[in-house]
Structure formats: structure tokens, C-alpha cells
Amino acid sequence: MNFELTKEQQMLQEMVRDFAEKEIKPYSREIDEQSKMRYEIFEKLGKLGLLGIPFPEKYGGAGGDTFSYCLAVEEIGKACGGTGLSYAANTSLGASPIYYFGTEEQKQKWLVPMAKGETLGAFGLTEPNAGSDAGGTRTKAVLDGDEWVINGEKCWITNAGYSRQVIITAVTGKKSNGRNIVSAIIVPTDTPGMTIACNYDKMGVRGSNTCQIVLDHVRVPKENLLGDEKKGFSQFLYTLDGGRISIAALSVGIAQAAFEKALQFSKERVQFGQSISKFQAIQFKLADMAMEIELARNQVFKAAWLKDQGKPFGKEAAFAKLFASEMGFRVCNQAIQIHGGSGYMKEYDVERHLRDIKLMEIGEGTSEIQRLVIARHLGC
């Protein structure tokens, strides 16, 4: 395993860092206050080829790898957690399943516009009664002639309000053991019967678009089935494994932002006649924060590297997601502590980082589910 960035990866990292610093960070507080995605950012990211980093050029991508994509997620997340979440959800959840499992026609029709930034991608798995327990999906799709007829409801779906299509998971039958067969179907968002409402008032990641989707006798051509009808469940588990690496990278980015602010504040804030960074209690906090961020980043790199090598990466992705998200929460919490009362004020941004990072312990499989995944890999 080689963690030294290639020249291309270094160039990409610098380009994204520069873009995020100039085009995202200055708006991050406003995005949070208004709870509104800044779509112009995504149009620009698309033009720069950053929305399709891990996909081949023939699909509008940059021909890069997961590793490079994670570098970009970290930089964007460092500038704005909400924008970072929408960025990661677009590539990992909206676009990747079509790249992994789609037909050539589906890739041309749906993946290319996403990679170019003409639309965002979204993945609708969660339902009011099926969160961690995705097998409990109630949305149903029934084949009627040449069309799927879909009925159900999805909640908290990232980017759906800015997507031309959402990948919807739905029960399409029963296995011999009585368990549901859950399949994935690409549903254009302008299909009659599909209602998308994006009115959630969220705690954090407020710059990401989050929607409820109601499907009332929605009809789509049977060719919109994504991949193997009977393997929908394993397909989305693979998708989520990949997505977890990007949530880990996003956690590292948010934590890095909070850490840098805490370090700077600690050098400037004077109490008892000296800057608080001279107190060992503060130094130890900063040392722990820096160490934990670096360890999480290394685990992101390891998981991404394994995926890029075509090796099994599910356990390492769960390690990365679990450790990075919980590390991020600790780091953002300590960043507030180092700021004292100032940290409790919006002006200093660290309270936003804490609100943003909390989602990382919940989305794409909660911390409890990550521990279950790891335990399963251990043969428990």
C-alpha cells in the first residue's frame, strides 16, 4: 500500500482545496443559516470534472479513483459540511450504483449528465418504517406489462430536489424463505405520481438538500430496473460500503476544519497572561485531535486503496466510517471547548461543525450498524 499521493492526486487535491477555499467556504455560514443548497457550486464542480472523479471519461468522469475522490470529499467537507454531504451522496449513492450495475444505455442516459453536473444524483432507500432495517422496505414495485408500478414513501433522501432521477429501492417479490426481494429502480423525478418535498428543518448539514418522496402509482419502463432484480439487496450493500468511505472522508474534512480553528484560537486567546495554547491541558487536547484526524485519514486511504485494487474493503470501510465519524464528533466537541464561550457562538463556526458532524454517526448506517457490520466480518 502506497500512501504517497501521485502527482495527479496532488494536483487534484490542490485544485479542489483552492476551489473550496474560494467558491464554497465564503458561503458556508450563509448556506447553514438559510438551510439552502448553493447549486451554483455543483454546476462549477461539474464543469471542473469533479462530480465524476471515479468514473471513466466515456461516462463524463475524470477517470480517477476512489482515493482521489476521497481527497476531494475531504476538501469540500472542510469548507462546508452540507455541501460535502450533497457532493458525496451525488457520487457515492446517486451515480455509483448506475456505474456499477447499470446497462450501457442507463449509463449514457443517467450517469453522464450526473458526472457533468447537469443534474445531481440521489438514492432512496430509507423509509419511515425501514431505516437500519432495509429488509423491512415497504415500498412495492409490481410489473404491469412493460412497466413497474411503484407505491410507497421514502424519507430524508439527499439531493432528490435537484435530481432528474432517484434510484428507489422497492420490494418486487418474496424469496423461498419468505424474505422480501428488494430491487433498485431508476425513477425520473418528473414521473406523474412522484411527489418530492424538501421541507425538513435539520440540525446540521443544512446546505444539503433532504427530501421526502411519495410514490403514488408511479409508472416507469421495466428497463429502468437497475442491475439484477434479485440482487438489489447485495447491490445496495456494496453501494453503501463505498459510500461509507466517502462519509469517513467527509468526517475527516469537517474535523480538520474544527481543529484548525481551535489551534488558531488557542494561540490568540490570552488568559492568565499567556495564550491558552501554552497550557498543557489545551496542548493535550490539540495533540489528541491532530492524532485522531490523521489516524482516521489513514483509514480512509486504506479503505479507498483496497477498493481501487479490487480487493475486499467492506470491513475497512466500516472501520473508516465508524472511527472517523466518532472521532469527528470528539474533535468538534473539543474545538468548542477550546473556544470556551466563543465556541458556543455561531460567529466562530465550530458549533456548526459539531452540528454537521453528528449526521456522520447516523447516515449510511449508524455507528451501531457499523459495529454490527464489523462483528459480522469477524465471524460473530
Ligand X SMILES: Cc1cc2nc3c(=O)[nH]c(=O)nc-3n(C[C@H](O)[C@H](O)[C@H](O)COP(=O)(O)OP(=O)(O)OC[C@H]3O[C@@H](n4cnc5c(N)ncnc54)[C@H](O)[C@@H]3O)c2cc1C
Give the residues lining the site for ligand X (CB under 6 A). 89, 93, 123-126, 131-132, 156-158, 202, 205, 210, 359, 362-366, 368-369, 372
Pairing of strands 140-144, 180-188: unpaired
- Which residues on adjacent β-strands are paired with residue 152? 215
Of 83 and 158, which has the nearer Cβ to ligand X? 158
**Minimum distance between the CB of residue 202 and ligand X, rounded to whole angstroms?**
6
DSSP designation for 278: G
Nearer to ligand X, 66 or 158 (CB): 158
Q: How far is the CB of 107 from ligand X (least distance, A)?
A: 21
Measure the CA–CA gap between 336 and 373, rounded to whole angstroms: 32
Catalytic residue among 74, 75, 292, 364: 364
Q: Choose between 225 and 373: whose C-beta lies nearer to ligand X.
A: 373
Judge whether 158 and 83 are in contact, CB under 8 Å.
no
CB of 177 to ligand X, least distance (A): 19
Q: What is the DSSP string of 227-245?
A: S-GGGHHHHHHHHHHHHHH
Q: Give the residue with the Cβ less far from ligand X, 244 or 261.
A: 244
Look at the alpha carbons of 152, 154, 159, 162 in this order and tell me if their dihedral is positive or negative. positive
In the annotation, is 147 catalytic?
Answer: no
Nearest distance in Å: CB 162, ligand X: 12
**Cα–Cα distance for residue pair 107/204, rounded to 1 Å:** 33
State the burial class of residue 89 (Cβ atoms within 10 Å of its Cβ: 0-12, 13-18, 19+): buried
Tell me the catalytic residues. 364
